[in-house]
Amino acid sequence: MNRTVTAGGPRVLLKRLRELLAAVMEPQERLDRIVREIAGNMVAEVCSLYVLRADSVLELYATEGLNPGSVHLAQLKLGEGLVGTIAASARALNLTDAQQHPAFAYLPETGEEIYHSFLGVPVLRAGRTLGVLVVQNRTMRQYREDEVEALETVAMVIAEMIATGDLARLARPGVELDLRRPTSFTGKGLNEGVGLGHVVLHEPRVVVTNLVSEDIDAEQERLETALGSLRLSIDDMLSRRDVAEEGEHRAVLEAYRMFANDRGWVRRLTEAVRNGLTAEAAVEKVQSDMRARMMHMTDPYMRERMSDFDDLGNRLLKQLMGRGPDQLAEGLPKDAILVARTMGAAELLDYPRERLRALVLEDGAPTSHVVIVARAMGLPVVGQLKGAVSMSENGDAIIVDGEDGRVHLRPQGDVESAYAEKVRFRARRQQLYRELRERPSMTKDGVAVDLLMNAGLSVDLPQLAESGAAGIGLFRTELQFMVAAQFPRAEEQERLYREVMVAAAGKPVTFRTIDIGGDKVLPYFNNVVHEENPALGWRAIRLTLDRPALLRTQMRALLKAAGGRELRVMLPMVTEISEIRQAREIIDREVRHLSKFAHHLPTSLKLGAMLEVPALLWQLDELMNAVDFVSVGSNDLFQFITASDRGHSMMAGRFDPMSPAFLRVLRQIADAGHRNHTSVTLCGELAGRPISAMALVALGFRSISMAPAAIGPVKAMLLELDAGKLRARLDAAMAEKGAEADTRGVLTAFAAENEIPL
């Protein structure tokens, strides 16, 4: 049965449009000829194109059949009239008698009062409405489903034409199209600072440039082959042993399998191909339609499924276009601001650091590892910005304010000027912090506090001198493993560790042994054990004790690199004292081995443990006597105590680490250190914020480790702090019975009363 009953059919129309897009002509002439071709092909007396402007006005850009003098004069606000309703809802309208519709708005300058039947479709790209395409006839008739599909297909081609910027030349001075509209988002500031630059999408949308097919049957075959490969890949993932029979991971994959086999989805893809699109253009069109409609749904479950559809569509596009995993963006601008739904720490480290200015995440939490790494790199970070990826285009101007959690996409000139001044102000403030570098980090009442920095790569080392840090309180050795394509050889590890110690120039450096597992996955490390809760699973010291060759190789590299110097080694994720004894036996064996071959050994070896597992809170005295020093991993300790995944965006900010309960835990640890004469350092997000660092000093911590950029603000706070006075105030607040004390409020009030900079 031949479904196409228009004059030439959609395939003929798409071919003509491709020729018009390729021809050299002025934009207005091209638009005029396009609407003429559409009208002729669809046997319509009218075809009109309305383009959405940045001021939410739909302007008539071209018409065949209406008064040509109304072009660029006829306008409708978003939501006004039939055209405005289509743009606002991202849904087509198919009417037998348009003038009877309650949303009908009469524009006398167009001369459209003689037309009754009306078909309008949104011009969509990546779910965004860029305009509206309309056909009209005098007779009262209902346009058929295949005609609606044909007009939607044509609208997709026009969307790409708008996106290229060609139509911007037709806009009046001072008027911008909606695609270039300034947009602001409010999320959660995850690292302070301001970044001005240009968008680099971490996982750029697959841009479909080949829209019109030459051979319908060949495109249909390509689509069916790609769908078959997609289904096989999902079945393969479901059959793997590392996918549990139940649980979230399997549920997501089962949903993918259901979508991939959905007859309605496949039918829409097939119809788009039959109408003359290439297989990849058909996928893009159907995905854009679905995305636009789901964005207007109020059901949160259905809106969340949108990301599943997006991912499935992208997988299918990559199958069709023969692409593997997305490669690092080439031609990265000098002021790149990464915009991503989510990303791993290793992926961030793949980018050249000197070109990055900030990071924007649709998800993200303050203690997720990508945020920790970004903080160490000194990048402003804003997270929990739903929709940021779909609203952004590579190369868009963007401003990221990590203090207020604001992101300005395609900002106006005055906004850009204001933030440029804010950047200059921050630079002046950083100069003030640099002037404090040589001053002792001591409170007003004479309490000395060691301010250390966190590091993980050789690029961090210059900041040791620039920040004025007293040493490196946490060197994350796993970062070297995460950025490598395979396990770093012993020689490579030794070279890095020696470089770190030379750069420290006698200042203490604490190396944490390799802490992989959980969300820190090495692609070349084959962990065949599926874990429903990786943060609670086979990671850190648990993994290295089970794979002692990893620990032996790393310790041998550390011992050789530290020849003639003090070596400080810290064990992560310790749960039982026996784990420390097992690790010490491995280390002692390596010391004996190197001594046997007369290697230059460290002058002293100090072994420490990270306190991040709550079980150690009931073994504090035993712990303090089993090691030379203790480091509190406040990020993990807090997530385990509150049973909240630190990488989960819905949990971010739900519980306050400045609550009396957690402060009591920290005071208990600090008291145990003093009681047993064991040095205790806190490494984590709490150390890097002046208000929480102020609390740590009052609780008894005399050594804290943080991102290099935080040392200046924390030292400025210390110099104005009376620690004894604050301790009395905080102890009283934490001792309150009944209603929970507002300890954060107490800290804020104390700082205001004593003019302490926060």
Q: What is residue 718's predicted lDDT score, i.e. its pLDDT?
A: 94
Which distant-in-sequence residues (6+ apart) come within 8 Å of 732 by Cβ?
Answer: none
Name, of 185-199, 399-413, 500-514, 643-657, the range with top average pLDDT.
500-514
| pLDDT over 80 at 440, yes or no | yes
Distance between first and last Cα of the chain? 74
CA distance linking residue 586 with residue 591, whole number of Å: 9
Write down the mean pLDDT value for the chain. Answer: 83
Q: What is residue 726's predicted lDDT score, i.e. its pLDDT?
A: 95
Locate 414 and state its tokens: 């005055």
Q: What is residue 169's predicted lDDT score, i.e. its pLDDT?
A: 76
CA distance linking residue 580 with residue 630, whole number of Å: 12
CA angle 733, 738, 742 (to 5 degrees): 35
Amino acid at 504: A
Q: Give 632-681 pLDDT, tens digit per residue.
A: 999 889 989 998 876 666 776 788 899 999 999 999 999 999 999 999 99
Catalytic residue among 47, 116, 202, 369: 369
| pLDDT over 50 at 241, yes or no | no
Tokens 């012993």 appear where?
Answer: 490
Locate 301 and state its tokens: 């479950």
The dihedral built from the CA positions of residue 17, 20, 21 and 27, taken in this order, carries a sign that is negative
pLDDT band at 294 (very low <50, low <70, confident <90, very high): low
Higher-confidence position of 300 and 237: 237
Which distant-in-sequence residues (6+ apart) come within 8 Å of 747 by Cβ?
Answer: 658, 691, 694, 695, 726, 730
| pLDDT over 60 at 245, yes or no | no
Which distant-in-sequence residues (6+ apart) come within 8 Å of 341 by Cβ?
Answer: 202, 203, 307, 361, 362, 363, 389
Q: 248-260 and 300-321 helices cross at what angle (nearest 10)?
A: 60
Amino acid at 436: L
Q: What is residue 324's predicted lDDT score, i.e. its pLDDT?
A: 47
| pLDDT over 80 at 464, yes or no | yes
539 near 578, Cβ under 8 Å? Answer: no
Alpha helices (runs of H) in 441-575, residue ranges in sequence order: 462-467, 478-482, 490-504, 540-546, 548-561
What burial letters (b/e) apply to 275-292, b meaning 16+ CB within 10 Å?
Answer: bbbbbbbbbbbbbbbbbb
269 near 282, Cβ under 8 Å? Answer: yes
Question: Can 216-321 and 436-753 be said to share one CATH topology?
Answer: no
Fold (CATH) for 216-321: Enzyme I; Chain A, domain 2 (1.10.274)
| DSSP β-ladder status, 450-455 and 703-706 | parallel
| pLDDT over 60 at 246, yes or no | no
Higher-confidence position of 127 and 323: 127
Within a 10 A sphere around the Cβ of 171, how many other Cβ atoms? 17
Averaged pLDDT for residues 440-464: 88
Which residue in 70, 66, 86, 68 sits closest to 78, CA to CA? Answer: 86
Name, of 33-42, 51-60, 453-462, 582-591, the range with top average pLDDT.
582-591
Annotation says 683 is catalytic: yes
Percent of the chain whose predicted confidence (pLDDT) is above 90: 40
Averaged pLDDT for residues 46-56: 89
* Weakest-pLDDT range from 326-330, 448-452, 673-677, 704-708: 326-330
Q: 708-718 and 413-435 helices cross at what angle (nearest 10)?
A: 70
34: left (phi over 0), alpha (psi -120 to 50) or beta: alpha
Phi, psi of 437 (to 5 degrees): -55, -40
* Weakest-pLDDT range from 289-293, 382-386, 543-547: 289-293
Averaged pLDDT for residues 446-471: 86
DSSP string, 634-697: HHHHHHHHHT--TT-TTTTTTS-TTSHHHHHHHHHHHHHHHHTT-EEEEESGGGGSHHHHHHHH
Strand order in the sheet with 75-77: 75-77, 57-64, 46-52, 128-137, 117-125, 93-95
For the chain, what is the largest distance between any 2 Cα atoms, rounded to a whole number of angstroms? 101
| pLDDT over 90 at 569, yes or no | yes
* Weakest-pLDDT range from 147-156, 173-182, 439-448, 665-674: 173-182
CA distance linking residue 607 with residue 568, whole number of Å: 6
Higher-confidence position of 731 and 419: 731
16 near 37, Cβ under 8 Å? Answer: yes
Q: What is residue 6's predicted lDDT score, i.e. its pLDDT?
A: 47
DSSP string, 201-212: ESS--------B
3-class DSSP state for residue 150?
A: helix
Q: What is residue 509's predicted lDDT score, i.e. its pLDDT?
A: 96
| pLDDT over 70 at 688, yes or no | yes
Averaged pLDDT for residues 355-368: 83
Q: 548-561 and 490-504 helices cross at what angle (nearest 10)?
A: 40
CA distance linking residue 77 with residue 87, whole number of Å: 10
Q: Give 482-508 pLDDT, tens digit per residue.
A: 766 678 889 999 999 999 999 999 999
Which distant-in-sequence residues (6+ apart) come within 8 Å of 496 by Cβ?
Answer: 458, 480, 488
3-class DSSP state for residue 308?
A: helix
CATH of 436-753, one of 1.10.3720.10, 3.80.10.10, 3.40.50.10190, 3.20.20.60: 3.20.20.60
Segments making up each domain of the chain, as ranges: 9-180, 183-204+331-427, 216-321, 436-753
| pLDDT over 70 at 179, yes or no | no
Averaged pLDDT for residues 10-21: 78
Locate 656 and state its tokens: 């306050």
pTM above 0.75, yes or no: no
| 359 membership: H or E segment, kind and range | strand 356-361
Which residue in 121, 146, 119 sits closest to 131, CA to CA? Answer: 121
Q: Give 203-232 pLDDT, tens digit per residue.
A: 655 667 677 788 888 888 888 888 888 888
| pLDDT over 50 at 5, yes or no | no
Higher-confidence position of 751 and 684: 751
| 51 membership: H or E segment, kind and range | strand 46-52
Strand order in the sheet with 397-401: 183-186, 406-409, 397-401, 194-201, 336-340, 356-361, 381-383, 188-191
pLDDT band at 287 (very low <50, low <70, confident <90, very high): confident
pLDDT band at 115 (very low <50, low <70, confident <90, very high): very high
- The hierarchical CATH code for the domain 9-180 is 3.30.450.40
What burial letters (b/e) apply to 713-726, b meaning 16+ CB within 10 Å?
Answer: bbbbbbbebbbebb
Q: What is residue 435's predicted lDDT score, i.e. its pLDDT?
A: 82
Q: How buried is 367 (Cβ within 10 angstroms: 0-12 exposed, 13-18 middle, 19+ buried)?
A: buried
Within a 10 A sphere around the Cβ of 225, how many other Cβ atoms? 13
Higher-confidence position of 439 and 254: 439
Q: What is residue 459's predicted lDDT score, i.e. its pLDDT?
A: 66
3-class DSSP state for residue 406?
A: strand
Q: Give 576-592 pLDDT, tens digit per residue.
A: 999 999 999 999 999 99
- C-alpha distances (whole Å) from 586 to each of 315, 525, 598 are 46, 22, 19
CA distance linking residue 175 with residue 53, whole number of Å: 7
Higher-confidence position of 310 and 440: 440
Higher-confidence position of 758 and 630: 630
Q: What is residue 301's predicted lDDT score, i.e. its pLDDT?
A: 46
516 near 543, Cβ under 8 Å? Answer: yes
The structural architecture, per CATH, of the domain 183-204+331-427 is 3-Layer(bba) Sandwich (3.50)
Q: What is residue 584's predicted lDDT score, i.e. its pLDDT?
A: 95
Locate 163 and state its tokens: 């996106």
Alpha helices (runs of H) in 177-239, residue ranges in sequence order: 216-239
Q: What is residue 380's predicted lDDT score, i.e. its pLDDT?
A: 92
Please, how many CA atoms are within 13 Å of residue 643, restricted to the half-sphere of its CB?
0
- What secondary structure letter does DSSP report for 618? G
